[in-house]
Amino acid sequence: NAGVTQTPKFQVLKTGQSMTLQCAQDMNHEYMSWYRQDPGMGLRLIHYSVGAGITDQGEVPNGYNVSRSTTEDFPLRLLSAAPSQTSVYFCASSSTPQGMISGANVLTFGAGSRLTVL
Amino acid sequence: SQQGEEDPQALSIQEGENATMNCSYKTSINNLQWYRQNSGRGLVHLILIRSNEREKHSGRLRVTLDTSKKSSSLLITASRAADTASYFCGLGTSYGKLTFGQGTILTVHP
């Protein structure tokens, strides 16, 4: 059971380049999300999805796009990378018991993707 | 949106001592969770407490929640060197969204 798999683990980009961080889970989890982690800032929610075809913005969505065409995959796209997007990115998923309103999400995290934008 | 604020930012203790970390928040929550992060790794879930609960235990972990004060504490008893990590509180709201604070860095000296 692989859990949450993120690729690549490391990436260096130049300003203005585009790229996609991949996230895949094999636990049939409905809920998936992306966080970025910066020193002194903790983890901040970028985007999240409550199921295939449904996405929503988190705390810091600007500069990032997401889509959810399948239950398993939730890619994060940087259309024009900026140095401010240098960070460690984490994907996390969960199975939401009895719907979203009363359920408590216990997240399973991937190992992270370290991105440097020069 | 709100984030939890962990206190202290860093904590250094000797093996065998207890470690207490606190989390404060500003608006209503559905549940509060504590996670652990070892250096260079993803977060790992430790314990969840719902808004209608006041205390929960799991092994050497004890979590309390005071919704009137909008605060929670995580107590790790009889700390071990292997407990050295960063600890984060996650604030759970409706629709499953979970937001985190800056975390507490715990160092347990052998």
Q: What is the pLDDT of residues A79-112, one digit of tens each?
A: 999 999 999 999 999 887 544 555 577 899 999 9
Minimal C-alpha gap between A41 and chain B (Å): 5
Q: Which residue on chain B is closest to A112 by alpha carbon?
A: B42
E strand residue ranges, A18-112: 19-25, 31-38, 42-51, 54-57, 64-66, 76-78, 87-94, 108-109
pLDDT digits 0-9 by tens, A32-84: 999 999 987 889 999 999 889 999 999 999 999 999 999 999 999 999 999 99
Binary contact (A112, B43; C-beta < 8 A): no
Q: Shortest CB distance from B101 goes to which of A35, A42, A111?
A: A42
pLDDT digits 0-9 by tens, B36-66: 999 889 999 999 999 999 999 999 999 999 9
- Summarize the confidence of residues B13-30 as an average pLDDT: 94
A39/A57 Cα distance (integer angstroms): 22
Cα–Cα distances in Å, from A12 out to A65, A83, A89, B40, B65?
19, 11, 13, 17, 42
Minimal C-alpha gap between A45 and chain B (Å): 7
As a whole number, the mean pLDDT across chain B is: 93
Binary contact (A42, B94; C-beta < 8 A): no
Binary contact (A96, B100; C-beta < 8 A): no
